[in-house]
Amino acid sequence: MARIDESLKSFYIKLVPMYFVYVLKSEYDRKRYVGSGESPEERLRRHNKGDYQFTKGHRPWKLIYQEEYPTRSDAMRREKLLKSGKGREWLDQILH
């Protein structure tokens, strides 16, 4: 498998933005949080820094699952589904 030069990888990522749905789990009280954005790693850093009201009181968080989508609207649609009753059940099944 060919290796991508890191500088080219970051250039490509800037040209073709991808959107992610991610699931975090609190290491403090085991709560789960579903969100979306362009960089799950950056969002995790900000959740652990305390930048978001809901997640601030449940730190530290770890990234336990993510999915990639070509558009923001696709990612937001999936985020909404995963926050529904059926989506939570599905996450419970796959994240044992």
The whole-model pTM stands at 0.83
Does residue 48 fall inside a structural domain? Answer: yes
Full domain range(s) for residue 22: 17-94
Does residue 10 fall inside a structural domain? Answer: no
Does residue 53 fall inside a structural domain? Answer: yes
Does residue 11 fall inside a structural domain? Answer: no
What is the spatial distance between Cα 60 and Cα 56, in angstroms, rounded to a whole number? 9
Q: Which long-range contacts (CB under 8 A, 24 or more apart) does 65-71 make?
A: 65/22, 65/23, 65/91, 65/94, 65/95, 66/20, 66/21, 66/22, 66/23, 66/40, 67/20, 67/21, 67/22, 68/18, 68/19, 68/20, 69/18, 69/19, 69/20, 69/21, 70/18, 70/19, 71/19
Does residue 7 fall inside a structural domain? Answer: no
| Mean pLDDT computed over every residue of the chain | 91
Angle (nearest 5°) at CA 16 between 10 and 21: 95
What is the spatial distance between Cα 70 and Cα 21, in angstroms, rounded to a whole number? 11
Does residue 5 fall inside a structural domain? Answer: no
Does residue 50 fall inside a structural domain? Answer: yes
- Give the tens place of pLDDT for each residue, 70-96: 999 999 999 999 999 999 999 999 997
Q: What is the CATH number of the domain that holds 88?
A: 3.40.1440.10
Please determine, for residue 9, whether its predicted confidence score (pLDDT) is greater than 90: no
Does residue 56 fall inside a structural domain? Answer: yes
**Domain total in the chain:** 1
